[in-house]
Structure 1
Amino acid sequence: MPPAASPPETVWCPRVTVACVVAKGDRFLMVEEEVSGELAYNQPAGHLDPGETLQAAAVREALEETGHNVALDAFIGVWQWMSHEHGEQVLRFAFSGTSVSQDLARPLDTGIRRALWLRRDEIRDLGPRLRSPLILDTLDAWLDGRRLPLDAVSSRLPGGRS
């Protein structure tokens, strides 16, 4: 009788997310969304899909959540934190870009109420309604002038979407 197969090893992976800082004058593109029955505010942000580059994910999430077609211009940085919402570690890759157009007829992702433009002080004043403490960290890094070249984040995905 052959030995019993051992159970597959569990592999731990952090949750990978992307976010966009999109500025227009002194205002930033934000998303008002319903999370667990309450309104929360976030930058256009979401999860990396299989086979997708980080840059493509950031552009896709901005479009799906705001209807804005965003052209990325810089990589801001990566943040690591423990999400209480998901109970797991998150790696958040943040990019900056500009809105090149908006599709007002495009339906927004489920749970998204609207896209809006807010000043940094208005975002700060949302306090506990901010979905993540990384929103202000990312904005402040951008306001401090942090701009890394987009190729600071590269991918080698066979057949990956760009």
Structure 2
Amino acid sequence: MTERWTPHATVAAVVYQDNKFLMVEEISDGQRVINQPAGHIEKDEAILDAVVRESIEETGWNVKPEQLVGLYTYTAPANGVTYHRYCVSATPIAAVPDARLDDGIIGPRWMTIEELRDCPNLRSQMVLTCVEDFLAGKRFPLDVIVEHP
């Protein structure tokens, strides 16, 4: 039997306010890393709902998805898994009182583009690519994402 290749569908939020990006400091493979609020889309979950859920679970911030920044693929050298990422820009609404963050999350960090460019421990190259694309003005209306029930 031929092995079936299945990419992992994920979302990431680029949340920008006051010249800073909302990031997540987390533990991945035993290392402290910086990522966007991001994660897997769950079974029967809409893509934009996943963006909101992951933002709350990883940063404690409720966000409003605004535009699609881009679609990205990345094959992680550590495990050989290919990730397909829907990167969405989002506006921060408010911190969620008493939000319970996912296991492995240290907490949210607001970082400037300079801090991100100088950061030696980004979770993957997609982190900076998504932010740079956002700053370059790459945006598409959310209705380009079509999900059939």
1:117 is aligned to 2:110: yes
Matches of 2:37 and 2:110, distance apart in 1 = 11
Q: Deviations over 1:78-103 (max 9, x none)?
A: 01121123312111110001111111
1:45 is aligned to 2:38: yes
1:29 is aligned to 2:47: no
1:152 alignment counterpart: 144
Q: Deviations over 1:2-38 (max 9, x none)?
A: xxxxx7x643210111100000121000000011222
Seen in structure 2, the aligned counterparts of structure 1 residues 86 and 59 have a Cα distance that, compared at 3 Å, is farther
Matches of 1:46 and 1:39, distance apart in 2 = 17
2:71 alignment counterpart: 78
Structure 1 range deviating more: 69-78 or 82-91: 82-91
1:89 is aligned to 2:85: no
Structure 1, unpaired ranges of 5+: 1-6, 158-162
1:143 is aligned to 2:127: no
2:4 alignment counterpart: 11
Matches of 2:78 and 2:48, distance apart in 1 = 24
Q: Deviations over 1:96-150 (max 9, x none)?
A: 01111111411111000010100011011112x1001001110011001111001
Runs of 4+ in 1 over 6 A off after TM superposition: none
Larger Cα-atom Rg: 1
Identity among equivalent positions (%) equals 36
Letter in 2 for 1:26: N
1:3 alignment counterpart: none
Aligned residues: 149
Q: Deviations over 1:36-63 (max 9, x none)?
A: 2220110000001111111111111001
Supply the RMSD in Å over aligned alpha carbons.
Answer: 1.3
Matches of 1:48 and 1:85, distance apart in 2 = 21
TM-score by length of 1: 0.87
Matches of 1:46 and 1:69, distance apart in 2 = 15
